[in-house]
Structure 1
Amino acid sequence: MIHMVKLCVGISSFEELESYRNERAHWWGADYGEGVHVHRTRMMPKRAAEMEGKSSIYWVIAGAICCRQVIERLAPYRDAEGKDYCDIIMSPELIRTIPYPKRPFQGWRYLEPKDAPPDMAANSRENSGEIAAELARLGLL
């Protein structure tokens, strides 16, 4: 199993990603049914078989990995101009993680399970994400 990590470009907070996801559930114009979120990226992962139904995409927001979504499957997509893409079909649930600092990069990267940040406890206080992000930024988490 291998995870994926991707920058959440143009999004500045977990709440903004939640809002964006809810508003644009079918923005990509591909119909994968209700109850999924789709993100389109340029390259199909070579390790796709290790990811489908087992892995997550970890989102980097404002310089830190702060949440993840379960990858249900990866689907090839070809646009009207003949360009190939990969549709990442994910569970709509956003799962907060302990924020881990992550420098900017282009595209997406693989993330080994041992390097993935743990999920934040379900009973965490609402502002604990901000506190954890600051502790991570200071190198204390």
Structure 2
Amino acid sequence: MKPHLYGSVHLLFYQNDQILLLKRKNTGFEDGNWSVVAGKIDPDEDMLTSVQREAKEEIGVMVNRDDIKVCGVLHRLSGTLNWVDFFVEIKNWSGTPFNAEPDKCSALEWFPLNGLPDHTIPYVLHAINKDQSSMWYDSDGWG
């Protein structure tokens, strides 16, 4: 039986009033558009472990569990798929971010929060622009 609910993590890496974005390619989802480090939560891991894995896989950095701040949850309908997206704020990590998945990412850049690029995925842009000082909830795609 196909699951009715999928989980994902979206990592908001902040440094000097800038956010780290990557340009997606060859994934079949929003290719050519800007997003944050993100991915599905695997069946054998909790959300925080997923954040740590995605940070290492996509940009080659290590994140301690204590440095992950859950800032928001988005319940999203994407086509026929029902998603719960966890948005987490990360301000501390070890290592220097680099494009560790060049087959899935054509660019990795820091952008000022008031100068995000055109073609940022709309729901990601919406989440970035949310007030991150307290935890938020929103929904998208439900009509």
TM-score normalised to the size of structure 1?
0.29
Indicate the structure whose relative CO is greater, using CA pairs within 8 Å and at least 6 residues apart. 2
Structure 1 or 2: more strand by fraction: 2
